[in-house]
Structures are given as C-alpha cells and as structure tokens.
Amino acid sequence: MIDLDLKKLTAYLRRNLVGILVVYTLYAGIGLKLWDVHKDQEAEKKSLSQERIVINDLKVAFEKEKASLTVDQATRDLELQKREFLVGRAEGDLAKQKLEVANREQLLLDSTQQLKNGQQLLSKEQQVADAEEKIQRMMSEFSELGVNLSDNHHCLSGEPLKRFYSARAKFSQIYTLIKANLLFQKYGDFIEQNKPQGSWFSC
C-alpha cells in the first residue's frame, strides 16, 4: 500500500516537476521580493524614526534657545530699567545739588551785600563821627578867636583883621562839613548865630 503511494507520488512528481519548479521559483521570487520590500520598509521606518529623533532634538534645542533668549531679553530689559532708574536718580541728585549750590551762592551774595552795606553804613557813621569831631574842634577854635563875622572888617587892621580872616575861614570849613554830612539839624543853631549879617564895602 505504501509502495503504491510512493510510486504514485513519484510518478506525479515526474509529471509535474517542471510545474512545481516553476511555482516554487515563482513563490521563491515573490518571497524574496516581499523580503526586500519588508527590509526597505524597516529601513525607511528606522530612517523616519531617526529623523523624528533629530527633529525632536532640534525642537527641544530651539525651545531651549528661545527660552534662553527670552531670559536674556528679560535680563537686558531689567538691566536697562535699572540703568534708567539710576540715571534718573543721578540726574535728580544733580539737579538738587545745583539748586543747593545756587541757594548757597545766593546766600553768599546776600551775606556779602549785607556785609558791604554794613561796612558802608559803618564807614558812613565813622565818617560822620570824624566830621563831628572835626566840627566841634573847629567850633571851639572859632569861639576862641572871639570874632563876630557881622562886624565891618574894613575897619580892622593888624591882629584883629588877621583873626577875622581866620575865623571866617574856619566858619566856611565848618559850614562845608555840616552840609556834606547833613548835620544842619544838630549844628544849625551855630550857623544861624555866627553867619555874617549884611555886607560891608568900606569902613
């Protein structure tokens, strides 16, 4: 039974060997082609995977750089704001210092002017005091001469005439000092009492 089957199988293979070989060759070629396609697909998948990794790495690097730039920009903005604040404060301090200097200069000018006015006032007072001292001395000298300027000097001679001219010269000096120092209120009576009354042209 078994020998019969083997014979049949052998006879079948002999009759269909070419066909079997053709089918086998065809399927083998298809299998190899499918395997090549599979390998190409695997290689493409691997390439795509690598590209995704590279793209993801690039995206991560871009985001990091973007974040870094954002931080750097924020730092620069903060530094700029800080500098602007410092410059503004420095300008404010400078304006304040200028105002203080101007105020001190004005105070100095005012003090200098007050001192100058005080010195002028003191000088004027000293001048008046000196003038009064001289006026009083000359008034005493005038009185000591014992001359009446209203007398007719044309009738005088010798020592009396000499004293008359000396007295008239002193009176003129006294009058000039009183006028220059505005002392008429204090010494007006002396002027009125001793000024010449009338004019004489001959004895």
pTM: 0.42
pLDDT of residue 157: 86
Tell me the Ramachandran region of residue 157: left when phi exceeds 0, alpha when psi lies from -120 to 50, beta otherwise. Answer: beta
Which pLDDT score is estimated for 35? Answer: 77
Q: How far apart (Å, rounded) are the C-alpha atoms in residues 180 and 154?
A: 31
Predicted local confidence at residue 178, as pLDDT:
92
- The three-class DSSP label of residue 151 is coil
Element (H, E) at 184: helix 184-194
- For residues 142 and 167, the answer to whether their CB atoms sit within 8 Å is yes
Please report, in tens digits, the pLDDT of each residue of the chain (203 residues total). 455 567 776 766 667 666 666 666 776 677 677 777 777 777 777 877 787 887 787 887 778 877 777 777 878 888 888 888 888 887 888 788 888 878 887 876 776 677 666 556 657 888 888 889 999 999 999 999 998 988 887 888 889 889 999 999 999 999 999 998 899 899 999 999 998 887 777 77
Predicted pLDDT at 42 = 79
The pLDDT of residue 20: 66
